[in-house]
Structure 1
């Protein structure tokens, strides 16, 4: 069904704390007639309904609310009105000026029609949220006007609500080499060399001067034209204007060779910088080449090649050897090996067969796979990952925000300095000539553009985020990448994080009844639970459970379960449940998670379930300590005996056991006591039960479990392979990226400061100044690209 023919509705389910109930609600609502698809996000308690157009919308919502109330009574249900903003994306083809990008974004964000905007210079994408109270078409026209006024000649493509480009006649930029620019540079250089030859051989004449003027017009004509147009529009402090004033000033005082040389090397530097930025863009894009181009939709006995956006949930697609899996789904026929490296960074191939889940972005290697689609393209793993990486630039680091503010004041300050250097000394210093000090002022103008910083800093962070994603680490913003370098303490949840979360029954201890009967009571008690422990008991019981025999069911958070089965009251849970219900019991001596069983208030024994530690958990903690992490802490709801044994095995510094979810937050608050703002705390959890702690920590890291929706929603960083050792890799990438960022900042500012001081003292010429501008920018960009390796 076409996306435009679907009505999206959102319901907030306040007070929803039962993950199993959330699954039941979502399953029932998704089966309602007229509902195309539904998604209940347990973390933010949001139920999203995609309703088919033409169906009674209010009736569907009423039915959904009834299902919610029947499944989990007493929830505070709020129907969210349609979003107050319209999200639109504009692709600015040909945008190569980082400073111009900053100016465009600032002007657009100040429009009253715009709720927020973000211009990602790396992928040339301007994302705007337009307030619904304003006309969308008029607002887009205003934005286009700002773009054209700031940087004329860009190829602007506007995406509609379906993600399709409205203005598609624009050809995709295949490379960053413009033949016209090369021709201008070559001709200009030859004419300039001829002029220099004239001077070198002693033939200084009007011909040599004419050669320099011709070379200047050829090389700098475009710069002069842009400067004039921008000045008319009020853009005085842009690079074109400053370079034009500086070189025209040099021509005016008779420094013809230098003026032409500066303009020539400025243009050459800009040309090389464009190639370097283009290469970095392509390198980052290649890291994320996971977007599928098409899907083989199976219709009867025929295959139809369609766009992945056209495929609906429940459709059957075929993936041939060598093709990307276009959408998330379940294999219904076939056996093959798949390459998951694009999502996980793991080079080892994975086997998939009938009944197993596959994710979009996997590459099928050697056999035909028939897949039933379980998620639409917008909700698919590949779509979410691309969205996270592409929009990571909207969450700017403190360093980026500082550079943005700094660049606003730097250029005007240096220009004012240039005017003072040119005007004041000739007035107050006896014998000082105006032409000499004007030349020194012109040196200031050449150095006054902050492009090296404005361009290289975001590029460094974006490269780091792109490289992390290639390694199966999704970092949601450069602010989190920056914070990762200052980590002082790492706090782990136990189950599903340091351990596999795969529980096995290791002991059945019955009191007064047979082991088989004890298992039967436990299985019926846990039959409606989705918890891993419940699943392990049911798996061990290995018999059919008749749910009709259960007449009542109550899940007591952090205690256990109470049911009525065959007119008997059964309690299954931890020690707290036994104490709460005043049941005399014998404490288990075994290490593991213990489920105590009572029938009709009489203790009947316990079942021990053990969890297995992940293979790389010990390595993960060792690597963190080698990186200088001071404290590694483990929080768990498990009993003290189990927690202490695992902590000792892994080398964890501190362990807190028997914790309820809210108590985990309290423990995290205590960990923060006495820490400075720079000492950051990471919390690592499974992204489902640990949402409050993930939200409270400076950096919340979730085990993504290859596409866990809840994990992706809850955390700041998602590990796509469930390997805790990836945390140290994320910190290493953060350290390297931040090191590169500060190398560029210190290098750029130091060179500019030195040239400004030497220029004011008459030592530095325009040759040094042009290096401090485009030369430094080029070096900074090349250095930023190291974050991708």
Structure 2
């Protein structure tokens, strides 16, 4: 594809970044958090500016589009060997020139053609055009070996990057293996094989043992076990029967089942995950944007400097061959796309690495932001706890236990909150057993319902106070759900949630990896929050918060963080989607069957294993470190070559070799992230100020 068409294509994908507003400062120590009202805007990813990035991105993608080929690599190696041989041949004059043109053309014929394309359409700063000019300048100056070496080492550099891209593509193809191309469509009494992408809603498909679920649906016949281990990056399997949900990407393990299609394959859960991982490159990190901005100014400056170096000293000294050869070195250095390539490749590898483990980064900027997160804010339910509430005790007042449970369960029938589901399960209430009208759910408080001609209020203490109901204070630990009928208090129900296995170890691992402050926000009562915060050693905790108050608390913490750090919020994506959007980085756990959570968050952890959280943090940290190292190495090599090349210490052949070596180092450094094994190394400890002296704050914020 020529460069003009690529520039035109890339311009369609790029948008200008939005300006962010400074967060207001609020009093977090108060029980009630106050913040100036403002219109909540959905958090959007920052894109690079179209004006400064279209050409740069076109050049970058054109380079990365080169496919790794053993024949191309063999051709480059053969050209290199031939260059070495020709360099020692006792030839001179036109014979020596022609002998060096052979390896030059052998390695650079494709670059010469692309240079002609760039010159024809007027792209004067195209990589191939400038490198070709540098090679021809070297030949004119009599540096035949340097002119040929530039093309040879450029080819080897491109093959190194193409190999890294190929390894990354293999990992991506492994992800796509969980989205089958075929499906068994049931038509009356026959089963036919069709393309999975053609499946429509309400069609029936049959899954045999070993088949992968092609799209989301509902089981209508048969019982089996679905295995989601590959999808979530850990051990996860669950039984299904008629009425159960079948999630795309899961493997049917034991017996045939029939599934009614709920969504087309392109809209299925796993397709959304693949799109998020695939499009992460569109949301560039600040490091990438900064480098591209610098390159947009530095490349033309170096090109101008190279031509001035070739012209001015040549006029004053008359020794044009020496200065033209030195200018050719500066021209090769002016091509800084390898710096951009190296950083992009690192973040791409990190995104693919995480996706293979059930962690979806939705942008390079998200990876960078998570690597700088020193404040981690946790929602309690479904994150540090299992999110599976159970009724522990019932305290009726003027009614029987069964009546209290039944009324509460009837009011909570339509709610999806984990506490509501626990009460419904304990009450045995069914929709056909009672006539429930006008149900109104208030997030963070409870529900109001009109049942058999009476107003029933089921919720926490804040709801009782809102409706002027006097309630009893609970005497046992747990979350108290109060119930009132027409303003008359009839008792409360105690529910409790078990601490998630490994929560303490995961949070401690995050601290060792660099998370400086851990905060717990919950809508539960103080006693339950204190217990969890004490066991898990949270620095700060605040209880009895509504979703809006959680947003305000997160905004307060963001406004008081260090300038160069970020804040990450971890939730389950059920009742905290607004909070996920408020934080710098929103992380949703256990969302492989929650499409809304995947849409709202920045990082989706598909499984319920809390140990995936430190894995995500460490992967982001490794990516940011590798990107910084690649930037430093590549920039340092080019700077030294420019200085010593202008001074005549480094020739063109040596300059080309050093730049090729730098690119190979960057490719290997990126592949280290792609092939990293957690068991090989212990988590790195970030030696930040105050990290090893970590103590719990005296201020409980309750």
Counterpart secondary structure, 1:596: strand
Shift of residue 232, structure 1, vs aligned partner:
2.3
Confirm or deny that 1:198 pairs with 2:89.
yes
**For 1:322-347, what per-residue CA distance to the aligned partner results, in whole angstroms no more than 9, with x for missing partners?**
33221112333444454423321115
Aligned CA distance change for structure 1 residues 279 and 435 (closer, same or farther; 3 Å): same
Once the two structures are superposed, residues 145-164 of structure 1 have per-residue CA deviations (whole angstroms, 9 ceiling, x without a partner) of x99x989999x9xxxxxxxx
How big is the shift at 1:766?
Answer: 1.1
Shift of 1:288: 4.6
**How many pairs does the alignment contain?**
636
What is the alpha-carbon distance in structure 1 between the residues aligned to residue 223 and residue 250 of structure 2?
A: 14
Deviation at 1:481, TM superposition (A): 0.5
- Structure 1 residue 305: Cα displacement: 1.3
Structure 1: how far apart are the matches of 2:159 and 2:469?
A: 80
DSSP-derived class of the 1:323 partner: coil
Q: Please give the alpha-carbon distance, in whole angstroms, between the structure 1 residues aligned to 2:450 and 2:171.
A: 61
Shift of 1:525: 3.2
The question of 1:631 aligning with 2:523 is answered no
In 2, Cα distance between equivalents of 1:643 and 1:744: 44
1:512 aligns with 2:398: yes
Q: Separation in 2 of the partners of 1:222 and 1:522?
A: 74
* SS of residue paired to 1:405: helix
Q: Larger % of strand: which?
A: 1
Structure 1: distance between partners of 2:357 and 2:461: 42
Contact preservation (8 Å) 2:223, 2:257: yes
Q: Which residue number corresponds to residue 188 of structure 2?
A: 300
Counterparts of 1:478 and 1:681, CA distance in 2: 16
1:292 offset after TM fit, Å? 1.7
Name the CA distance, whole Å, in 2 between partners of 1:655 and 1:273. 47
Report the 3-state secondary structure (helix = DSSP H, G, I; strand = E; otherwise coil) of the residue aligned with 2:579: helix
CA change 1:250–1:617 in 2 (3 A) is: same
Checking the alignment, whether the CA contact within 8 Å between 1:523 and 1:545 is kept in structure 2 is no
Determine helix, strand or coil for the equivalent of 1:506. strand
SS of residue paired to 1:501:
coil
d(CA) in 2 for partners of 1:485 and 1:276?
Answer: 23
- Residue 724 to residue 536, structure 1, CA distance change in 2 (3 Å): same
> Residues 433 and 315 (structure 1 numbering): CA distance in 2 closer, same or farther, change over 3 Å?
same
CA offset digits 1:498-538 (Å, max 9, x no partner): 22222211111222333223333333333343333232222
2:274 to 386, 393, 396: 386
User: Which is worse superposed, 188-197 or 774-783?
Assistant: 188-197
Counterpart CA distance in 2 for 1:615 and 1:389 is: 28
Measured against aligned partners, the alpha-carbon deviations of 1:118-139 in whole angstroms (never above 9, x if no partner) come to 9xxxxxxxxxx9xxxxxxxxxx
Counterparts of 1:14-163 in structure 2 under 5 Å? 107-108=8-9, 114=12, 116=14
Question: In structure 2, how many angstroms separate the alpha carbons of the residues matched to 1:596 and 1:775?
Answer: 69
Are 2:205 and 1:325 equivalent residues in the alignment? no
Q: Secondary structure at the match of 2:284?
A: coil
Cα displacement (A) at 1:477 = 0.6
Partners of 2:257 and 2:452 in 1: CA distance: 46
Q: Show the counterpart of 1:177.
A: 69
Q: SS at the partner of 1:692?
A: helix
Residue 391 of structure 1: CA displacement? 1.1
Asked if 2 retains the 8 angstrom alpha-carbon contact of 1:452 and 1:776, the reply is: no
The answer to whether 1:211 aligns with 2:99 is yes
Matched, 1:368 2:368: no
Q: Does 1:683 align with 2:569?
A: yes
The answer as to whether partners of 1:276 and 1:778 remain within 8 angstroms in 2 is no
Cα pair distance change 1:438/1:662, threshold 3 Å: same
Deviation at 1:104, TM superposition (A): 6.1
Partner SS for 2:185: strand
- 1:294-693 equivalent positions in 2, closer than 5 A: 294-347=182-235, 350-428=238-316, 433-542=319-428, 544=430, 546=432, 549-550=435-436, 553-555=439-441, 558-693=444-579
Instruction: Report how far residue 184 of structure 1 moved.
Output: 5.2
1:759 to 634, 642, 645: 645
Q: CA deviation at 1:472?
A: 1.0
Q: Aligned in 2, Cα 1:334/1:205: closer, same or farther, shift over 3 Å?
A: same
Distance in 2, matches of 1:259 and 1:552, equals 81
Alpha-carbon shift at residue 411 of structure 1 (Å): 2.1
Q: Judging changes above 3 Å, is the alpha-carbon distance between structure 1 residues 248 and 602 closer, same or farther for their aligned structure 2 residues?
A: closer
Deviations 1:768-788 (A, max 9, x none): 211243332233223222221
Answer whether contact 2:404 2:490 (CA < 8 A) is retained.
yes
**Matches of 1:258 and 1:153 in 2, distance apart?**
25
Shift of 1:207: 4.0
User: Does the Cα contact within 8 Å between 2:234 and 2:609 map onto a contact in 1?
Assistant: no
SS in 1 for 2:89: helix
Check the 8 A contact 2:59/2:126 in 1, yes or no: no
- Decide whether the 8 Å contact of 2:227 with 2:236 is kept in 1: yes
Matches within 5 A, 1:265-304: 265-304=153-192
Whole-Å separation in 2 of the counterparts to 1:446 and 1:377: 48
Matched-pair contact (CA < 8 Å) for 2:481–2:493: yes
Partner in structure 1 of residue 678 of structure 2: none
Instruction: Answer yes or no: is the 8 Å Cα contact 2:160–2:663 preserved in 1.
Output: no
Q: Judging changes above 3 Å, is the alpha-carbon distance between structure 1 residues 432 and 701 closer, same or farther for their aligned structure 2 residues?
A: same
Higher relative contact order (CA 8 A, sep 6+): 2
What is the aligned partner in structure 2 of residue 24 from structure 1?
none
Distance apart, 1:695 and its partner CA: 1.3
Return 488-497 or 417-426, whichever deviates more: 417-426
Map 1:694-733 onto structure 2 (within 5 A).
Answer: 694-733=580-619
Query: CA 1:434–1:372 in structure 2 vs 1: closer, same or farther (change >3 Å)?
Result: same
Q: CA deviation at 1:385?
A: 0.9
Aligned partner of residue 676 in structure 1, secondary structure: coil
Does the residue aligned with 1:507 lie in a helix, a strand or coil?
strand
